[in-house]
Amino acid sequence: MYYFTEPMAEADIPRVQEIESQSFTTPWSANTYRRELQNTSACRYIVARASYTPPSATPRPRGLFATFFANLFSPQVVSNGVVAPIVGYGGVWLTVDEAHVTTIAVDPQHRGRSVGELLLVGLIDSAMQLRAPMLTLEVRVSNTAAQNLYLKYGFRPQGTRPRYYTDNGEDALVMWTDRIDTPEYQNRLTELRQRLFARLRAQAERVVN
């Protein structure tokens, strides 16, 4: 199985909401996602897709209106004539002096295959596109698997938000990166990205063969 990311489009929202309902107890409305996608100066949202063969993409608009068209039409990413299904998504907001990871989720059937890590790398790239110097996020204190992934990419615990999650009153661990625009972080990100892509390629080849 090949996995890849691309910008979320408005036509992707119903599928994103399906994954969200499997992952969270308080899902966003479709209108919320539409507003986020329209706020291109401060928001970036991406989706992960899965394909049994290396995907090909039809040409997409570039330049001034590229983002506008991307939010109106779902990109026609195909494999053997079939649009590759969405298996995960994530987003970031730009605030005054950092980018905030607002959400990240993976279809339960595709968890454990590095899709979440692929999305995280895409969100870090998105934060750099927004010229954010740092990244922050909240994660459940019980979700050690996610915390370990974030630690791998330079996030560090900086405090907690008591009873942050409304479904069960669980605390949130607040994590921050150091500056992501330094040569040190960029070198680390490049190395981690190369390892991730090599792992995904090997994983895809095992499935195909």
Can you tell me the mean pLDDT for 117-124? 97
Decide if 2 is catalytic: no
- pLDDT in the model for residue 25: 87
Catalytic member of 138, 164, 165, 170: 138
Residue 103 domain flag = yes
Distance of alpha carbon 175 from alpha carbon 172, whole angstroms:
9
Distance of alpha carbon 53 from alpha carbon 94, whole angstroms:
35
pLDDT in tens, 66-77: 333 333 334 445
DSSP 124: H
Residue 66 domain flag = yes
Residue 156 domain flag = no
Residue 92 domain flag = yes
Residues 6+ apart with CB under 8 A from 41: 94
Stated as kind and residue range, the H or E segment containing 36 is helix 30-38
Catalytic member of 2, 33, 45, 150: 150
DSSP 110: G
Decide if 117 is catalytic: no
| Residues spanned by the domain of 121 | 2-134+178-208
Burial of 48 by CB count in 10 Å (0-12 exposed, 13-18 middle, 19+ buried)?
buried
* CATH number assigned to the domain comprising residue 120: 3.40.630.30
Q: How many domains does the chain have?
A: 1
Can you tell me the mean pLDDT for 6-18? 96
Residue 83 has pLDDT above 80, yes or no: no
